[in-house]
Amino acid sequence: MKKFVYAFEEGNKEMKALLGGKGANLAEMKKIGLPVPDGFTITTEACNQYYADGEKIAPEIVNEINHHLLELEKKTGKNLGDSNDPLLVSVRSGAYISMPGMMDTVLNLGLNDASVEGLANLTGNRRFALDSYRRFIQMFGDVVLEIPKYKFDRVLEGQKNKRGFKNDTELTETDLSEIIEGYKSIVKTEKGFSFPTEPKEQLMMAIEAVFGSWNNDRARIYRRLNEIPHDLGTGVNIQSMVFGNMGDTSGTGVAFTRNPSTGENLLFGEFLINAQGEDVVAGIRTPQHIAELKSVMPDVYQQFQDVCTKLESHYKDMQDIEFTVERGKLYLLQTRTGKRTAFAAVRVAVELVEEGVISKEEALLRVLPSQLDQLLHPMFSEKALLEAKPLTKGLPASPGAASGRVYFHSEDVVKMKESGEACILVRTETSPEDIEGMVTANGILTARGGMTSHAAVVARGMGKCCVAGCSEIFVDEENKFFIINDVRYNEGDYISLDGISGTVYAGKLETVEVGLTGEFATLLEWADEVRTLGVRTNADTPRDAETAVKFGAEGIGLCRTEHMFFSDERILKVRKMILSTTLEERIEALNYLLPYQKEDFIGIFKAMAGKPVTVRLLDPPLHEFVPHKEDEMKKLAKDLEMPYEIVKHKIENLLEINPMLGHRGCRLAITYPEIYEMQVKAISEAAIHCIKTEKIEVLPEIMIPLVGHMPEFTILKTLTQKTVQEVMAAENQTFDYKIGTMIEIPRAALIADQIAEEAEFFSFGTNDLTQMTLGFSRDDAGKFMGEYMKKGIFEKDPFESIDQNGVGKLVDLGVKLGRQTNPNLKIGICGEHGGEPKSIDFCHREGLNYVSCSPYRVPIARLAAAQAAINNRK
């Protein structure tokens, strides 16, 4: 027969699935000899059985409970309902995966008209005993009998009014007795039966209530949001009560074995003398720091310290412990792994290794990669946050914190920065023309666009704080103001952005800087020892490249060349090139751009000093480079000395109905080969310059984007080889290079075996691959994405974490087919997913050679890659 109830002595910490987290830990503490009040746990299987039996506790389970209750009475020498020395118990839920505050708890169970007198005797405080009884009836009425709390409150308030009292503490024993009678009659009226005075009946009802709470709305929603299965069930812990409020030799407290904020290896917590657990939380009395326990109860303190050391070395992690001291005797009521900040997580993990408690690999698994963001970006000081006034929330598009004056136009940001002002660029959405303002601003706020909108992608690339898609904001760029909740903010007003939470604050908040040093650096070195997946960066400028190298990038996985075209001295020539009618005109404009491109690449090659640099040749549709507003087109016509009508006509001709699926990527080079020719020439000349003049190694990997058909690649590969060889011949200098392609069109994945015959590397462009595989324009998805998330159609934003069931299948196919033809094919990923831990785990399992992500995500990727290596070893 299946066993549904376990005394604490029968369990251990490995039995979390069966006993729930709390029950397993109580059992474990019992097992290692720690002072835990006796009790037993009803299993999660009993909970499932309860539902299987139509929400009834089966007789054999009732029998088991009664048996363990008898044992508990024997062990404690106390009896439920006893009027001298009554056994009182707590009834608490405890699931496999912690769901804080989601389920029900009943304390002091066992009180009735007889045992309340026993409690009075025991504590020497009849008023306290009566108050506990009153509270128990109310808690039981609320949690178990589902009588609205306010009905009990009305009786309490009535009594206070009658007596002219303001505070509960003024109530006498007689008052409390009257209130208890009032409470009892509420139960009678509401439920049609008397308040159950038989403790065993109380217990069974409380257990049913805990089982029932597993399926209340709050719990169901919590589980859905946290991806916890609904069929785990909850355990129920029945534990004999101990009292911290039995005078000055009693007390209660909560402590962490280390500082959860900084990670420092010192006890951290609070206690109250002569108090019960809820008093610590209630805030009526100010608790004392745990260190002070040493002077108040030196023995207990020493004993508690020993317990902490024992628990930490036993659990091999920082613990969060609840304890009670009853008449000088220490009892432990709970232990669990302590929640901590990113700082603390890293420090604790590293120090536990140094202390010999855990291995490096265990330490690597102790830190959530996504937490690391906090360690790399400035953040608001705790003090500043205490006084901060949140205005609204948007998407946490790029981490960090920024305060500054609001400006709406790139030029204004640039101008104000020159005069030394911190600035926030606020736009409905950003476009490539805002680049200079984005580079200059301290932070970016947009009203539209998702986690992969232009603002978000560019800001993350720069490591710049950005809150995007803040839909409550209305931005009027023309008149230079924005509105949140009917309040208008003008140009020059101060606001602050928290890019980790997405919160927008009014006014200027103090920020503090942090960095990649100390334990953080150590942890990442360990990550590098373990991981097999390479980590590269997406970087378009020498500055980004340098940042990324500092963060540990092993190369550039994606260097986009289009951003290089937007600076002032170039954009006019770019536009001239685009609007040329003849090949000669186009080549003339390209020749003008060549030396600039060469300088760009020299800068990047120098920053990477011999590490591989994957350069993607021009990708976006040409209309992204030209203006579309009448006045700007007129100015362009003047600058180019072309008739306005012709400029307008040509620009209109560039417009596309679905630009994402239009004339871009390698398609541009099929129609205008001279563009790629110029770019390859610039790469080659830069490479040779670095070798000859700078005396550094270079390893360019030339990447042809948007390949979907084999001849696209072969035609452009031939063009690239020819161009490189011409430069080599002219300069009388060779260099190593590779030619490969992005796999970003579904068809490319489907014909990867063919492509791999010619390509030396693949890089999965999972942004576009996701858009095309899902048929989703990320620019437009905003209109229904909310509804999709709400209805659970997407478990996760597929632009944030790779859609493993859909896009992942194409990646898998691409990898398998590619390696089938070319077993040594180098394969990476350069979409936004390259910096997201779940996606990184996927890339590891797929056997990719590297991931590439924005510079500020490189440390995250290093850690996530290490975790993937460890987790997939089994």
Query: Which residues are known to be catalytic?
Result: 454, 830
Q: Where are the alpha helices (DSSP H) in 449-582?
A: 454-462, 518-530, 542-550, 568-579
Binding its own copies (rule: CB under 8 A), the pick from 779, 796, 821, 838 is 779
Examine residue 229 and tell whether it contacts its own copies (CB under 8 A). Answer: no
Examine residue 792 and tell whether it contacts its own copies (CB under 8 A). Answer: yes
**C-alpha angle 255/257/259, rounded to 5°?**
85
Q: Going by C-beta distance under 8 Å and a sequence separation of 6 or more, which residues neighbour residue 567?
A: 436
Dist CA 736 CA 154 (whole Å): 84
Examine residue 768 and tell whether it contacts its own copies (CB under 8 A). Answer: yes
- Our CB check for its own copies shows the closer of 351 and 744 to be 744
- CA distances 714 to 452, 593, 717, 759, 816, Å, are 31, 26, 5, 9, 21
Contacts with its own copies: how many residues (CB under 8 A)? Answer: 48
Give least dist CB 668 to its own copies, A: 8
Binding its own copies (rule: CB under 8 A), the pick from 392, 481, 659, 758 is 659
- Our CB check for its own copies shows the closer of 277 and 708 to be 708
- CA distances 55 to 20, 50, 58, 96, 202, Å, are 20, 5, 9, 20, 17
Task: Give the E-state strand segments of 184-307 in sequence order.
Answer: 234-240, 251-256, 268-273, 288-289
Examine residue 432 and tell whether it contacts its own copies (CB under 8 A). Answer: no
Binding its own copies (rule: CB under 8 A), the pick from 805, 824, 873, 874 is 805
Binding its own copies (rule: CB under 8 A), the pick from 656, 674, 726, 731 is 656
Segment contacting its own copies by CB under 8 A, of 378-386, 436-444, 747-755, 856-864: 747-755
Examine residue 629 and tell whether it contacts its own copies (CB under 8 A). Answer: no
R_g (Cα) of the chain, nearest Å: 33
Residue 201 CA to chain centroid, in angstroms? 44
Examine residue 429 and tell whether it contacts its own copies (CB under 8 A). Answer: no
Sign, CA torsion 446/448/452/454: negative
Examine residue 709 and tell whether it contacts its own copies (CB under 8 A). Answer: yes
3-state secondary structure of 101: coil
Q: Going by C-beta distance under 8 Å and a sequence separation of 6 or more, which residues neighbour residue 812?
A: 846
- Our CB check for its own copies shows the closer of 429 and 493 to be 429
Examine residue 783 and tell whether it contacts its own copies (CB under 8 A). Answer: yes
Give least dist CB 621 to its own copies, A: 9
- Our CB check for its own copies shows the closer of 131 and 624 to be 624
Dist CA 30 CA 10 (whole Å): 9
- Our CB check for its own copies shows the closer of 275 and 769 to be 769
- Both tokens of 189, joined, read 């009226």
The answer to whether the beta carbons of residues 408 and 489 sit under 8 Å apart is no
Dist CA 672 CA 660 (whole Å): 19
Quick one: DSSP state of residue 358? S
3-state secondary structure of 88: coil
Give least dist CB 769 to its own copies, A: 9
Pick from 530, 540, 465: nearest CA to 862: 530
Examine residue 810 and tell whether it contacts its own copies (CB under 8 A). Answer: yes
Segment contacting its own copies by CB under 8 A, of 400-408, 583-591, 786-794, 862-870: 786-794
Dist CA 282 CA 254 (whole Å): 13
Give least dist CB 647 to its own copies, A: 18
Examine residue 751 and tell whether it contacts its own copies (CB under 8 A). Answer: yes
Pick from 139, 141, 133, 179: nearest CA to 159: 179
- Our CB check for its own copies shows the closer of 166 and 791 to be 791
Segment contacting its own copies by CB under 8 A, of 77-85, 183-191, 362-370, 805-813: 805-813
Q: Going by C-beta distance under 8 Å and a sequence separation of 6 or more, which residues neighbour residue 281?
A: none
Segment contacting its own copies by CB under 8 A, of 12-20, 271-279, 597-605, 764-772: 764-772
Binding its own copies (rule: CB under 8 A), the pick from 793, 820, 847, 871 is 793
Segment contacting its own copies by CB under 8 A, of 175-183, 400-408, 557-565, 787-795: 787-795
The answer to whether the beta carbons of residues 616 and 601 sit under 8 Å apart is no
Examine residue 674 and tell whether it contacts its own copies (CB under 8 A). Answer: no
Binding its own copies (rule: CB under 8 A), the pick from 225, 281, 386, 657 is 657
Examine residue 745 and tell whether it contacts its own copies (CB under 8 A). Answer: yes
Examine residue 772 and tell whether it contacts its own copies (CB under 8 A). Answer: yes
Give least dist CB 577 to its own copies, A: 16
Pick from 110, 96, 102, 109: nearest CA to 212: 102
Examine residue 671 and tell whether it contacts its own copies (CB under 8 A). Answer: yes
Examine residue 235 and tell whether it contacts its own copies (CB under 8 A). Answer: no
Examine residue 750 and tell whether it contacts its own copies (CB under 8 A). Answer: yes
Examine residue 746 and tell whether it contacts its own copies (CB under 8 A). Answer: yes
Dist CA 19 CA 237 (whole Å): 9
Give least dist CB 471 to its own copies, A: 12
Give least dist CB 102 to its own copies, A: 23
Binding its own copies (rule: CB under 8 A), the pick from 58, 572, 670, 691 is 670
- Count Cβ atoms within 10 A of the Cβ of residue 282 and give its class: 0-12 exposed, 13-18 middle, 19 or more buried: exposed
Give least dist CB 718 to its own copies, A: 12
Examine residue 777 and tell whether it contacts its own copies (CB under 8 A). Answer: yes
Examine residue 780 and tell whether it contacts its own copies (CB under 8 A). Answer: yes
Binding its own copies (rule: CB under 8 A), the pick from 784, 789, 847, 872 is 784
Examine residue 794 and tell whether it contacts its own copies (CB under 8 A). Answer: yes
Pick from 549, 545, 517, 372: nearest CA to 461: 545
Examine residue 773 and tell whether it contacts its own copies (CB under 8 A). Answer: yes
Examine residue 711 and tell whether it contacts its own copies (CB under 8 A). Answer: yes
Give least dist CB 229 to its own copies, A: 17
Dist CA 116 CA 652 (whole Å): 86
Examine residue 708 and tell whether it contacts its own copies (CB under 8 A). Answer: yes
Segment contacting its own copies by CB under 8 A, of 33-41, 253-261, 687-695, 702-710: 702-710
Q: What are the strands of the beta sheet with 465-468, ordered from one edge?
A: 389-393, 503-506, 494-498, 401-407, 423-427, 443-446, 465-468, 395-398
Q: Which residues pair with 445 in a beta bridge?
A: 426, 467
Dist CA 603 CA 543 (whole Å): 9
Segment contacting its own copies by CB under 8 A, of 135-143, 778-786, 851-859, 862-870: 778-786
What count of other Cβ atoms lies within 10 Å of the Cβ of residue 117?
18
Segment contacting its own copies by CB under 8 A, of 102-110, 214-222, 547-555, 706-714: 706-714
Give least dist CB 449 to its own copies, A: 11
Binding its own copies (rule: CB under 8 A), the pick from 35, 328, 432, 662 is 662
Pick from 830, 799, 826, 831: nearest CA to 815: 826
Give helix 342-354 / helix 518-530 axis angle, nearest 10°. 70
Binding its own copies (rule: CB under 8 A), the pick from 365, 388, 594, 661 is 661
Examine residue 569 and tell whether it contacts its own copies (CB under 8 A). Answer: no
Dist CA 144 CA 852 (whole Å): 54
Give least dist CB 773 to its own copies, A: 5
- Our CB check for its own copies shows the closer of 282 and 583 to be 583
Residues 83-112 contacting its own copies, CB under 8 A: none
Kindly list the residues in this chain that would bind its own copies in the complex (CB under 8 A).
Answer: 656-663, 667, 670-671, 706, 708-709, 711-712, 715, 744-747, 750-751, 768, 771-777, 779-781, 783-784, 787-788, 791-794, 803, 805-807, 809-810
